[in-house]
Structure 1
Amino acid sequence: MRILFLTSFYFLALVAFAQSNQKISLANAYYQEGELDKAITIYRELADEPQNVSFIHNNYLEILYTKQLNNETEKYLKKIRRWSPNNIKYDVDLIDYYITVNDSSTAEKHYKEVEEKVLQNLGYLRSAAQFFINKQHRRFAERLYLSARERMRDPNAFAIQLATLYRYNNQKDKMVREYLTYAQERQGNLRYVKNMLQMSLTEDEELESFVALVLENMQKNNNKDLYADLLIWAHLQLENFYAAFIQARAIDKRNQLPGENSMEIGQLAYENQEYDIAEMIFKYIVDNFSNSQNYIQAKQLLIKTQEMKIKNHFPIDTSAIRNLTVSYQNLIDQIGLSNYTLEAYRQKALLHALYLGESNKAIEMLNQIIKFPNADQNIIAKAKLNLGDIYIITDESWESVLLYYQVEKSHKHENLGELAKLKNAKLSFYRGEFELAQEHLDILKNATRREIANDAMDLSILIKNNTILDSTQKALRAYADVDLMLYQNKQIKANKALDSLIEEYEEHPILDELLWLKSRLTKQKGEYEKSIELLTQIVYDMPYGILTDDALFEMAMIYEELIDDKEKAQEYYQQLLTDYPGSIFVAEARKRFRKLRGDFVTQ
């Protein structure tokens, strides 16, 4: 009899469960179709049974809010809260209801009950905080974490949760403090903190405030390296390489390192064309760590930095170039010609070929690198590319084609291989083989390295713009000839040719390109004002040309770096930012403009 009774009971329960499921599915279907009156009728019936609540709660509650049935909403939430006193979600829903009806005092009363419940069992903390965040009540989530931190008597507890909360609230000062707290917990947290800060601190003023806060914390904390690391990160975001070097040098000294952190900052300064600071850093490493593994690289980079400074002032001082070759040779004599000094030897060869007119000597040196036993394949490829360039200068372009193709093949799908293809495209351009050049360039538009892709795109546009409407290609061939003269350093011949072409093609679309070449030539001769005149003609006579923003940026650079007229430079950077907001030069122009305006200190 007992077995029969239990069997009947379970059968009835299954029938009831199946009926409930059918009603839930029906109500949800009405809800999805927007038939809210039909849906709420079924939901009300289902809401009388506790086992149904989890299946209907969200939809039912939304309909109650939509229909503004406030009394029914309050009664329902209180009822299910009694049924499930440990379900924090229902507590939060009730608090959300009181906030919705502007009953802040009752909402606060219930919040304190939730807070006490959480503090008695911290296992509820994260889910309760997340429920508040989901309801857009982040201030309650913040209070929960802060109260739990106080109860635990641990000022560092829940730092990452609070930092994330403050990040979403855009409370950046509080966010930064919590991220600093989190970074202190263990070294592995530092990378994550930097990534989050990089997403959040996007303005220079915010980064400068961050620097001030880190310096403040640094005075109070023994973990100097952690704060120095963060300061380096912040200074690099601001491109304040000198300040970054100060912190890197301090880390090296504290940890008795042979300039490793300083070396990284020097390389970044060099890559960002901050040559004065880079030179100072490399010299510091050379002078203080002559017996370390960093010495050879620092010495090479020191000479290379000095080279870049000389090459950026016109006309180029060939006696200074000669002194650089002596510096390279002294390094090679000191260390010996080896895999460690082949790069220095390659750089020396380029100086002989490109600036001292000693092509034969350079060819001999580069061939020596190519044949050097067990040399790195990349240095061999670079030497081949350089050798190909020199053969163009000496009018032996078929040798250049062969060398470029060798590198294309040996470094396929790599930067050096793409660079070789670009050089072959440019060589085809010089020879008037525009279709062949275009075939190379079409491939290179998707090059891995952005600079190569941009150069390929520029040359491709030049060819298309001057062949579509000019079937004779006469103007483009004349331009390619004079461009080759400049590459071969035949400045006098190129100058005469440019003057003639500018007069002949003053109504032709290629005029801006000719003026650009002429401005480049006059700058190299140290005739800065003449260069400015030519660039001004591009900017104001051809305001919609493809070189207009290039010309504006070049004018500003000449005024800033060569004429030393900061006010004029600032004026042209501002014009570029205003008139050409889509230009690829905008980011660099903005940085230089703000630096000239004195928005932040660079040293």
Structure 2
Amino acid sequence: MLKRIFLLLIICCWYSGFSQTNEDQAESYYIKGEFKKALIIYENLVKESPYHYQYNLKLIDIYQQLEQFSDAREIIIKILSQRYNPMTVVVLGYNYQLEGNQLAADKYYGQTIDFIDENPNYINSVAKRFEDYSLLDKAIEVYEKGKRLTPEKNYSLQLARIYGDQGDVELMFSNYIDFIAYSPDHINSIKRAFSDFVSEDSSNDNNIYLRRQLLKKIQQQPKIYWYEMLSWLYVQEKAYKKSFIQEKALYKRSQESFYRIIELASIAHEDNDDETAQTIYKFILESTQNLGALLNAHKSLLEIETNNADDKMILEIDKKYQSLFEEYGKSERTLPLQLAYGKFLAFNLKDTESAIKFLKKSLKLSISKFQQAEVKLLLADILVLQEKFNEALIYYSQIQVNLKNSPLAQEARFKVAKTSYYKGDFDWAESQLNILKSSTSQLIANDALDLKLLISDNKYEDSTQTALKQYAKADLFAFQNKTKEAITLLSQILKEHKGGSITDQTLFQQAKLFEKTKQFDKAESNYLEIIKDYGEGILADDAHYYLAELYNTQLANPEEAKEHYERILFDYQDSIYFIEARRRFRALRGDLLN
């Protein structure tokens, strides 16, 4: 008896495996569009398993692909005679539609939709079947009926997706908003869905639709999540001041939302909206006793002040730092403030010796090895500022050894390469950059590749490498905030090595320094020269993008900006600027982003 059972099991397993192999082969033919080959296998599978619903559905589909509609209809009717299934009725209706008999198709579609009045459990499956056949209006009709028949459930997410596919953005927004009210925990996923439809342009129709609906919700039902959504929309529009108004209203209702205000301050700060960032940081100082938040607000306020300070204000900022250290002390908790002050001493007060002395005291605190690495990284930067390259390399190397393969170690390796480049040791710099091309940090990998290409393209220009050494020196001047000297040396390179391989890179670097010193007309001239004379070079897309940005933000010439964004879209589709250029081009053109 046991032997017979064992034999049956073997046969069943073999048969199951055989059927699976046939099904896989048939599916492979189907995907390739070889429907006649797939048909033979599925006909055999249905003969072997006549009640297998999925095999029958696939066979129906193949008959329809081959326009053998009567064969498909015969199978559909056979299935329905065995068991009534509303999804199969949709299949029958669709088969009549393919035959060109729309009257019969509508009849069966109507029967299916009527069926769910008494059987609402079929709402999702019937609607999904309509969606499978791209009968989106029918799917909408089913989901809308579902809202009425089963108010305890919610079909807004499905409706929003369909309206989005149809391009009806206003109804899509409306349904997503209904879903937020039903399930506020999904608000972040809804934000991601909205992000494809709104832009920086507050006058964009999509932005207006969403803003109106959110404001209406706040008036009717002032829930926390409506304020949060409106704040998020204002952030997309870079209207940080308006976002802050919503966040303050939100904070009054829920103290737990304070972290969002901190995040908004950081976003405004990074986007150079100094006025709003300062307002928010001051609000943080007035509203919390959290030491981390307070110290970060103080540090960020001083950084903003420093970026806009003249010589007299710099001395006042120094006093503010000293006052903060008197109040909060120098410890592990205040290390970010200490790092900011060390950088301020070296790069703004230009007192590098005091900066090094101060930071070496920070190293003696009870801090983690990662915090030590941050201090050493800044110390090394300051030594590069002093052109004490060998001492700087010691600190960078220590970080690499102590924190192998960490982001800080990769940053230190890049700075080893950059320091060697400043020194004129191009071979060693290049060897380090080769390692960094596969860095886990995309930013470091990109910077490493750019510097490697600069060196490899120019180190053989002449035996003395004069132009490359001059360019590296100008690069060092820029790092040392000696912008005027950097611009002058770059002009000398352009004069002495005109037409050389380094010319386009020199023009580009100088253009960026012209922008920094607000010499926008000179920057424009450099970018145009790159486009004219080096349009086939690796910096052509950079020149188009930065020139477009210059026209868009500084020279008030949106038409020219649009032209250069468009050039990237048509001529440089592999450019790292492609996505941003497309977004900005569409915003300038006034597109509905969807």
Asked if 1:303 is matched to 2:293, the reply is no
Any idea what SS the aligned residue of 1:294 has? helix
The structural deviation recorded for 1:433 is 1.3
Asked if 1:339 is matched to 2:332, the reply is yes
What amino acid is aligned across from residue 556 of structure 2 in structure 1?
K
1:283-322 per-position Cα deviation (integer Å, ceiling 9, x unaligned):
2222444677522221211222233344xxxxxx333333
Asked if 1:213 is matched to 2:201, the reply is no
1:121 alignment partner in structure 2: 119
2:254 alignment partner in structure 1: 255
1:82 alignment partner in structure 2: 81
1:350 to 328, 343, 346: 343
1:9 alignment partner in structure 2: none
Q: 1:565 to 1:320 in 2, by over 3 A?
A: farther
Q: 1:109 to 1:360 in 2, by over 3 A?
A: same
Answer yes or no: is the 8 Å Cα contact 1:318–1:355 preserved in 2. no
Any idea what SS the aligned residue of 2:440 has? coil
2:228 alignment partner in structure 1: 229
2:468 alignment partner in structure 1: 476
Query: Please, which moves more after superposition, 159-168 or 399-408?
Result: 159-168
The structural deviation recorded for 1:524 is 5.7
Answer yes or no: is the 8 Å Cα contact 2:227–2:247 preserved in 1. yes
Answer yes or no: is the 8 Å Cα contact 2:35–2:66 preserved in 1. no
2:363 to 352, 367, 370: 370
Q: Kindly report which structure 2 residues correspond to 1:348-427, keeping only aligned pairs within 5 A, or say none.
A: 348-372=341-365, 374-427=366-419
CA distance in 1, matches of 2:458, 2:439: 24
User: What is the RMSD of the two structures over their aligned residues, measured on CA atoms?
Assistant: 3.9
1:391-418 per-position Cα deviation (integer Å, ceiling 9, x unaligned):
1232321110000111122333222211
CA distance in 2, matches of 1:535, 1:269: 29
2:450 alignment partner in structure 1: 458
1:442 alignment partner in structure 2: 434
CA distance in 2, matches of 1:94, 1:411: 66
Asked if 1:573 is matched to 2:565, the reply is no
1:481-520 per-position Cα deviation (integer Å, ceiling 9, x unaligned):
3433444456676566444433221131112333445455
Q: Percent identity?
A: 26
CA distance in 2, matches of 1:83, 1:183: 42
What amino acid is aligned across from residue 428 of structure 1 in structure 2?
S
Answer yes or no: is the 8 Å Cα contact 2:459–2:468 preserved in 1. yes
CA distance in 2, matches of 1:302, 1:595: 32
The structural deviation recorded for 1:197 is 3.2
Query: Please, which moves more after superposition, 132-141 or 528-537?
Result: 528-537
1:144 alignment partner in structure 2: 142
2:163 to 140, 162, 166: 166
CA distance in 1, matches of 2:233, 2:110: 40
Structure with greater Cα Rg: 1
Query: Please, which moves more after superposition, 174-183 or 577-586?
Result: 577-586
CA distance in 1, matches of 2:423, 2:435: 20
What amino acid is aligned across from residue 458 of structure 1 in structure 2?
D
The structural deviation recorded for 1:559 is 6.7
Q: 1:46 to 1:339 in 2, by over 3 A?
A: closer
Answer yes or no: is the 8 Å Cα contact 1:248–1:261 preserved in 2. yes
1:447-491 per-position Cα deviation (integer Å, ceiling 9, x unaligned):
233322222121111101102454542321232234334444566
CA distance in 1, matches of 2:272, 2:479: 23
Q: 1:60 to 1:517 in 2, by over 3 A?
A: closer
TM-score normalised according to structure 1 size:
0.80
What amino acid is aligned across from residue 268 of structure 1 in structure 2?
I
CA distance in 1, matches of 2:295, 2:470: 46
Q: 1:400 to 1:336 in 2, by over 3 A?
A: same
What amino acid is aligned across from residue 266 of structure 2 in structure 1?
Q
CA distance in 1, matches of 2:587, 2:40: 64
1:186 alignment partner in structure 2: 183
CA distance in 2, matches of 1:512, 1:419: 27
Answer yes or no: is the 8 Å Cα contact 2:551–2:561 preserved in 1. no
The structural deviation recorded for 1:34 is 6.2
Higher relative contact order (CA 8 A, sep 6+): 2
What amino acid is aligned across from residue 284 of structure 2 in structure 1?
I
CA distance in 2, matches of 1:598, 1:173: 17
Answer yes or no: is the 8 Å Cα contact 2:56–2:75 preserved in 1. no
Q: 1:186 to 1:496 in 2, by over 3 A?
A: closer
1:82-113 per-position Cα deviation (integer Å, ceiling 9, x unaligned):
3322x223212222123223433433333333
CA distance in 2, matches of 1:453, 1:263: 30
What amino acid is aligned across from residue 164 of structure 1 in structure 2?
R
Answer yes or no: is the 8 Å Cα contact 1:335–1:341 preserved in 2. yes
CA distance in 2, matches of 1:41, 1:302: 71
Q: 1:171 to 1:425 in 2, by over 3 A?
A: same
Q: 1:571 to 1:178 in 2, by over 3 A?
A: closer
Q: 1:136 to 1:393 in 2, by over 3 A?
A: closer
1:8 alignment partner in structure 2: none
TM-score normalised according to structure 2 size:
0.81
Q: Which runs of 5+ in 1 are unaligned?
A: 1-17, 311-316
